[in-house]
Structure 1
């Protein structure tokens, strides 16, 4: 027993204990701060709310209530039924459904297309996002087949819009949810393992985590208020210090953040943030944030967008804020088909789609293809050379080098099974579907020909089969081409 006590009091344990108690995120006004203290042996989440201004009834005037927001979403899907549907991903602490509107030319159907999600009102006292997302949905519906950008997005992207992640916090006019938990500090964190207690996840957090696991999102953004900047990973640091902490896809995230900032009316003119963008950990570290979890566990490239200096501006300012952010929101979604590397992965033996992984040399993040179509969508910064590898257990991996310019590239892979010999691969690749009668007729025909001609005809026959097989494969690979794709490559 004494030996056990001495081990507990060892230096590493004391250091870990000190880190758990004293390495707290910095308290700020813009993104909000939180601290973790130990209550009955469990790390609970509370907030410093003394500095939060009291939200008056006059401030909330003309903002949609939760019931009005739900009504607006359902009316939208009725008015725009040809390009939308509504569904719920779960419920809040108080049982309010977390409604999502999907916008696509084939809503509810799985396609070989990238998916983007917008999430608003993560913090209850930052309601601008929920209003802007309804405006975005209505704009897409009103301008579909009239405006090229609206048509591009609806036809080539599955856009999912969750106007409020925190309806309880909105109703209570406070940052946290009904349990007073900051939902943007509630996700498992790579730098703060004490935040990984699954049983403490809030229902809203669990709903987002399950949503990301069930659906194949390429990129996303959450809308916040209190500053004007596009924030990108990482949000925290190993030693909790305020410093630039680059994630593996730092170039790509900076490119996405710059796209949003430069499309905005005045975000890029910021005097506080160079170019209107910032690395999260450099601004100030947080732990348990949603964007880092999206990227690590879902391969989903998420930005945290601060879209209004005032957290709760007057409702008559919302049309102006919408106009300032409209092109930024549209261009960010459209970037899923205008940039990056996209393609499908197939098996060489039967031509079936493969849920293989796509890895970029030097970037330790995998993007997985879908099981249904084998399609993948990999966000990458333009103007760079990349080594791209597609791999899957049981198949031989394939690697190719590309130069990604300003437009998107279509890159398909055909993987061969590992357990097939070289001879078997050739035979399977050139196998023709002929019935027994046809084979007998071929044999009878060849009996009267000398060996040299027989061999020549055999070679020609194999070449013909290979070409026929290749034509069939390309026909299967053919799909609606995304606007902006520069060229198509099959590896």
Structure 2
């Protein structure tokens, strides 16, 4: 878990025995019962699982699992599975690959298992690299990379860009149209529509900083205030925030005016005192 939190993996797989099927999330259900329970990226997971199954010697020919793939919860629900945890907490698309009907294969069967699964493993790794959309997120004012967020319209899932380089890779099913959006607090969001082919597409985002007003509104948007008093308070705070520099200048000018007036008054008093002194008899 620590490793996954330190390094952003795009995809992964665990190898199991006891069945011949490519298993994808979710593994558990909200009601604890056995039924199909899809995650937000169900289509993408089905694509990845099918890539593995169809590249296998005979997995896709399964009579128990149509196409050689299955939703984990539809097979049998379990909770705390690694593939679910990876998807939720690490942004990593993981499959559970059951690579042999024999739970405990003999050592002399390993070369055969390797031959049956070799192309599946290679094609799965290639599909993770060659499908989806990837790129980087930059700030328009400084050109620095931004650790922003990538979302796809209609899919309730967020991919985080890297902190060092602002890079992201978002797995998606080829041959579809998607609206891709990049967001970052303090910057204006940007979206673009892409038609994804059979290979990955590069889309970089350059985000503009929000104005002072927009940043203020963003900071206060979480306030659950109501009523006229709250509105008045918001208006006063808004006015103060936007005109702070003006207030500083006015205060400085006021002090300057008062000091100048005091100096003139003192000078006038000194002159009058000197005049009275000159009129007194010696």
Shorter-chain TM-score: which interval? 0.7 to 0.9
TM-score, normalized by length of structure 2? 0.74
- Cα distance per residue 1:85-139 (max 9 Å; x no partner): xxxxxxxxxxxxxxxxxxxxxxxxxxxxxxxxxxxxxxxxxxxxxxxxxxxxxxx
Aligned CA distance change for structure 1 residues 345 and 387 (closer, same or farther; 3 Å): same
Alignment pair present for 1:294 and 2:98: no
Alpha-carbon separation, structure 2, partners of 1:234 and 1:317? 31
What does residue range 60-139 of structure 1 map to in structure 2 within 5 Å?
none
Alignment pair present for 1:258 and 2:50: yes
Counterpart in 2 of 1:337? Answer: 129
- Cα distance per residue 1:20-48 (max 9 Å; x no partner): xxxxxxxxxxxxxxxxxxxxxxxxxxxxx
Aligned length: 214
- Structure 1 unaligned segments of length 5 or more: list them: 1-208, 422-491
Q: Is the 1:221–1:305 Cα contact (8 Å) retained in structure 2?
A: yes
What does residue range 160-309 of structure 1 map to in structure 2 within 5 Å?
209-309=1-101
- Cα distance per residue 1:215-238 (max 9 Å; x no partner): 111111111111000000011111
How far off is 1:383 after superposition? 1.5
How far off is 1:313 after superposition? 0.9
Counterpart in 1 of 2:143? Answer: 351
Is the radius of gyration larger for structure 1 or structure 2? 2
Alpha-carbon separation, structure 2, partners of 1:417 and 1:308? 54
How far off is 1:420 after superposition? 6.3
3-state DSSP class of the match of 2:120?
Answer: helix
Q: Is the 1:390–1:399 Cα contact (8 Å) retained in structure 2?
A: yes
How far off is 1:382 after superposition? 1.1
Pick one of 189, 195, 213 that aligns with 1:397: 189
Large movers: runs of 4+ above 2 Å:
none
Alpha-carbon separation, structure 2, partners of 1:229 and 1:314? 20
How far off is 1:337 after superposition? 2.1
How far off is 1:403 after superposition? 1.1
Counterpart in 2 of 1:410? Answer: 202
Alpha-carbon separation, structure 1, partners of 2:117 and 2:8? 26
Counterpart in 1 of 2:104? Answer: 312
Counterpart in 2 of 1:367? Answer: 159
Q: CA RMSD in A?
A: 1.3
Pick one of 354, 368, 377 that aligns with 2:169: 377
- Cα distance per residue 1:193-224 (max 9 Å; x no partner): xxxxxxxxxxxxxxxx1111111111111111
3-state DSSP class of the match of 2:178?
Answer: strand
Alpha-carbon separation, structure 1, partners of 2:137 and 2:181? 11
Alpha-carbon separation, structure 2, partners of 1:243 and 1:337? 31
Alpha-carbon separation, structure 1, partners of 2:50 and 2:126? 14
Alpha-carbon separation, structure 1, partners of 2:189 and 2:166? 15
Q: Is the 1:299–1:365 Cα contact (8 Å) retained in structure 2?
A: no
Alpha-carbon separation, structure 2, partners of 1:299 and 1:218? 7
Alpha-carbon separation, structure 1, partners of 2:128 and 2:27? 23
How far off is 1:242 after superposition? 0.9
3-state DSSP class of the match of 2:138?
Answer: strand
What does residue range 18-33 of structure 1 map to in structure 2 within 5 Å?
none
Counterpart in 2 of 1:25? Answer: none
How far off is 1:336 after superposition? 2.2
3-state DSSP class of the match of 2:126?
Answer: helix
3-state DSSP class of the match of 1:306?
Answer: strand
- Structure 2 unaligned segments of length 5 or more: list them: 214-282
